[in-house]
Amino acid sequence: MTDATELAVWRRARRQLFVPVDIVLLGLAVAFAAGLRVPPALQYVPFALGLVIFGLPHGALDHLVPARLAGRRATLRTVAPVVGLYLVLGAAVAVLWVVSPIVAFVFFIALTWFHWGQGDAFASARRSGDRLGRPRAIGFPLLRGALPMVVPLIAFPASYATVLGATTRAFGGSAPAGTLASGIRISLAAGMVALVVIVTLLDARARRGISGGRRAWLGDLAEVALLVFFFATVPPVLAVGLYFALWHSLRHIVRLSLLDPALTGPLEAGRWGRVLVRFTAQAAPVTGIALLILVGLFVALVPRTVATPIDPLGIYLVLISALTLPHAVIVAMMDRAQAGRRRVVSWRSAW
């Protein structure tokens, strides 16, 4: 696929996939700002659907990435290192949860911050056809990862503590008593404002004089404003569940699909239904294995009498944390292999 064609696919994806998601998130933000209330049980629905739609499956093709980056068919030689990476790093995260649940939770938040910022940075650069040169390459993902991780902490500190308790309870841990002090929340908010201003100015400078640069800058600024509004008004469990599936995962699925030679035609024609059907079919086996592991964790860790309705979500997040570390490593290698080039290079160069 040529550089121009890939750029056209990303821009088509923005118009036909990402903008509709923006509209949904904006509508929900407005509704909650106006006083909408949703029963807690319904707030878990996006996470539940994410088990089989976009969310959990979006990393289920990692074992095919090395071969597709190199433009070859997957073999045992290309798949085995990825499987080994998942086993080693996933086990390390699981051990951390057993040894220190609080540390594991903080690590999970930091890792997710990095990984979600990482995904947004790549998608932004690809659809605008530019590069994330330093220091923008640091500031942009730092800001984008902070939006879903820090803004809910500022706006809904009690909900953050609830999720912390749900993830640590199964391992004998407990959330720290008390709520987040108002002074800390003010400091976090001031830090977020400063980060938005700095990154926005860096983006404006980096795109000055570039064809379409102003439009791309305004598009990124609009996304930041939308996400701040969304995470500041929508309950965190609902907001993060929707963001994970419809924002982060969907962008990664488009990225993976661009590496699949069988999807060149559908992508160029904007046949997203076919793209998503093929992706789902390919991701189904690994997704099924992950679901079996989740069931095993649930049986082993959740008490016979569930303390709160959020406890099952806590176990799901523990599984996600174990999968996120190797997945983030694979994505970082993809970034390195594809950095500054519109063509795909060999997987060996990513190491």
The torsion defined by the Cα of 163, 169, 174 and 177, in degrees rounded to 10, comes to: 40
Residues of the chain with pLDDT under 50: 305, 340, 342-351
pLDDT of residue 21: 97
Mark out the alpha helices in the chain (DSSP H runs).
3-13, 19-33, 40-43, 45-49, 65-69, 76-99, 101-128, 136-155, 157-169, 182-206, 213-233, 236-242, 250-257, 264-269, 272-301, 311-338
The structural domains of the chain, with segments of one domain joined by +, span 3-350
Q: How far, in Å, CA of 231 to CA of 105, rounded?
A: 20
pLDDT of residue 125: 84
pLDDT of residue 342: 43
Phi-psi region of 35 (alpha: psi -120 to 50; beta: other; left: phi over 0): left
